[in-house]
Structure 1
């Protein structure tokens, strides 16, 4: 019987039995090997802070409104960066066969039935450690943010937050020709940022603030663009302070609650700063239809496959799926000790 990660209430998560999934035409059955946990979005489900748990999303008007929340506990189907082996295909499927290893989005579940078109172009690159396939979604999020920053060769770009997505954004910014000034509160993550190619690193508690230190470092003009990925309103304010006049700030964190610490009457107003939201549901409008989610994933995974982006240093924990409660508790209470937490399902390669 398949098993699925289920949030039963705030701060309560377990591995529960699920109904078997029938194989339908045009689909393949995938046995999950590894599934990565998002330390941002999924913690909002774990903590109960996700806006979908409190309000209704009006799809037609694209507004959160008061009413019956869209989601309620128990929550299943979360998780969006998986790797597994195709074990069965429908009679009308020729693009994949049993034994193919694919990555994609089908949730924290031991077995899934997915449309073949969702994974037929997402085979794991030859020779790549299967665990590394769990970065496909996070890498796409990071690349989307970098594209939103419109990085040009020789520009200074501040990247606030050096968690998994921030570290990937640092590397992708460097590959795009930018000079990264990375900010994080945790010394070990600042060291990793240097390994990803950051030119300079700054602590959150830098005297006068990281933005002031960046202005000194750039001769007073500030950085050309900033990417904020920590999800902290205070960090977003500091990112606004870091850019020069008419600079761009890409707000790519999942901000929770009211924006305490974000003071829009200061540098934002006086320096005419442009704040751009980056969310994986869409690519930067300036790029038009040339870029979509599939292209983000393909470009990122190609960079992982050929070694331009090294993700091995980001895997801090690989734990059995049965230990999912301990995994989320650690992410919640001791985030400094974790980068990428990966769930391992039965049958995964040793």
Structure 2
């Protein structure tokens, strides 16, 4: 039997069992070892705030429309940070260049399920780098999200970059911005995360609870403001403060998954008067000016290469490894006590 984590309603989680499916042509079967929970996107489905639950996404027009929702409960198999062992490869694929073979450890996206059946083209080049701990492979996607936000910022050597939100993706963005040559100012409301930000390369850390973050960033940058701000918490007041913190004609990268109306975001203030560039970074694509040479696949592989080279430490971000049978407790922890957790991993 296959075990699948699913949401049966807002804040309702169960682990369902299904009969094991046959392997179709052109596919690979993977036995899951670890699967990372996204504290952003997944919690929107867990809480019932995800727009797909109330609207229909039109992929051709690329807008949400009123009507039948795009997804309905039960929502099964969410998750995009999996690691596992290849059990079976469709026979006609034997010898395909770059395709993992049975016994290989691989990373990819097949959701919170004990076995994934994945199209072969999505597994080419997804063998875990030699010597890498399997758990590290669960960071390929979240690392790519952070990487994408840093590329969207167009950071130049020596620039001041403020990163708002020091959860898992924010800490990785802090590290990647530091590796890009930026002087990083990390902002969060939790002392433990600000301490972690310093270990990941932040030169300054600011407590978001002071209410003077923009002023403090300007003071730390000689009165100018940050060249770039990356907002990754997904909270509208933080996005507003990020806009307040950058120089005239500065760039703000909005990488969080914002929910509901934009309470706290006042676009008639600094955004209007300082002509701020507001850029959306979302993992469905790369910054347009880099699309001729960067892809989402390259983001993921480049991030894992940095991990393998020892330039990014992901092991320190794992706060909890939870047996899949206790998945409901894992989501409750992230929802109700986020200060106690960073990356929560389900173990199968």
Whether TM-score is above 0.5 comes out as: yes
The structural deviation recorded for 1:120 is 2.6
Alpha-carbon distance between aligned partners in 2 of 1:73 and 1:288, rounded to the nearest angstrom = 35
Residue 341 of structure 1 is matched in structure 2 by 344
Could you list the structure 1 runs, at least 4 aligned residues long, displaced by more than 6 angstroms after superposition: none
Match of 1:348 in 2: none
Q: How big is the shift at 1:338?
A: 0.5
Q: Is the 8 A contact 2:100 2:127 kept in 1?
A: no
Q: Secondary structure at the match of 1:331?
A: helix
Match of 1:322 in 2: 325
Is contact 2:227–2:250 with CA below 8 Å preserved after alignment?
A: yes
> SS of the counterpart of 2:243?
helix
Deviation at 1:24, TM superposition (A): 1.8
SS of 1:92's equivalent? helix
SS of the aligned residue for 2:312 comes to coil
SS state at 1:290 partner: coil
Query: Please, which runs of 5 or more residues in structure 1 have no aligned partner?
Result: 346-350
Is 1:76 the counterpart of 2:76? The answer is yes
Q: 1-side partners of 2:45 and 2:284: how far apart?
A: 18
3-state SS of the aligned residue for 2:326? helix
Shift in Å, 1:182: 0.3
255, 259, 270: which one pairs with 2:258?
A: 255
Deviation at 1:77, TM superposition (A): 2.2
Cα distance in 2 for partners of 1:55, 1:48 equals 12
The alpha-carbon deviation at position 117 of structure 1 amounts to 2.0
Instruction: Say which SS state the counterpart of residue 283 (structure 1) adopts.
Output: coil
- 1:271 pairs, out of 238, 249, 274, with 274
Taking the aligned partners of 1:289 and 1:48, their CA distance within structure 2 comes to 37
- The structure 1 residue matched to 2:110, chosen from 93, 106, 115, is 106
- My pick for the range that moved more, 220-229 or 92-101, is 92-101
Alignment partner of 2:216 out of 213, 216, 223: 213
Q: Which residue of structure 2 aligns with residue 40 of structure 1?
A: 40
Q: Which moved more, 1:209-218 or 1:246-255?
A: 209-218
Could you tell me which residue of structure 1 aligns to residue 136 of structure 2? 132
- The answer as to 2:289 corresponding to 1:286 is yes
CA contact (8 A) 2:100 2:126 kept: no
Q: 1:120 aligns with which of 108, 118, 124?
A: 124
Shift of 1:289: 2.3
1:252-306 CA-partner distances (Å, limit 9, x unpaired): 0000010000111111111100100000001101113211110000110000111
1:194 equivalent in alignment to 2:198 = yes
By how many angstroms is 1:217 displaced? 0.9
CA–CA distance in 1 between the matches of 2:7 and 2:284?
Answer: 23
Please give the secondary structure, in 2, of the residue aligned with 1:205. Answer: helix
What is the deviation of 1:118? Answer: 1.2
Cα distance in 2 between the residues matched to 1:234 and 1:159 = 14
- TM-score, length-scaled by structure 1: 0.97
Offset at 1:26? 2.1
The answer to whether the 8 Å contact 2:100/2:125 transfers is: no
Q: For residue 21 of structure 1, what is the aligned residue in structure 2?
A: 21
Q: Distance in 2 between matches of 1:265 and 1:28?
A: 52
Partner of 1:158: 162
CA RMSD of aligned residues (A): 0.9
